Amino acid sequence: ANGYYFSRWGKCIWSSHDLSDMVFVDNYIFNKDVFIQFNSTVGEFVGYTELGVHNAQNWNNNPGQLQTEKAQIESFCKHNAEIRQSTVTDKS
């Protein structure tokens, strides 16, 4: 609307079959630029713009929000990866 674009992309990255190296990355994007990101390896939000830095400070001071992001590895990433892996294994 009015030429502004906001999106949020969450992605799971792993290479091992046991999913032990899985990383969750959650990007907040405004007009095609990531302005804040959560990376489970870092364990907190990182801001890339003035607004992103401000929001990252606020969000990192909210234990509930940080815990919700950290839990995405189990509830979102590993859950879906296990389903995908079993689908591929069942077909071979």
What's the mean pLDDT in 28-35?
A: 94
Q: Which residue blocks in the chain are alpha helix, DSSP H? A: 50-60, 63-72, 79-91
Residues 6+ away with beta carbon under 8 Å from 83: none
The lowest-confidence range among 49-53, 58-62, 74-78, 82-86 is 82-86
The three-class DSSP label of residue 61 is coil
The one-letter amino acid at 34: V
CA separation for the pair 2, 77 (Å, rounded):
34
Q: What integer pLDDT is reported at residue 66 of this predicted model? A: 95
What's the mean pLDDT in 41-62?
A: 97
pLDDT category, 1, cuts 50, 70, 90? low
- Provide the whole-model pTM: 0.83
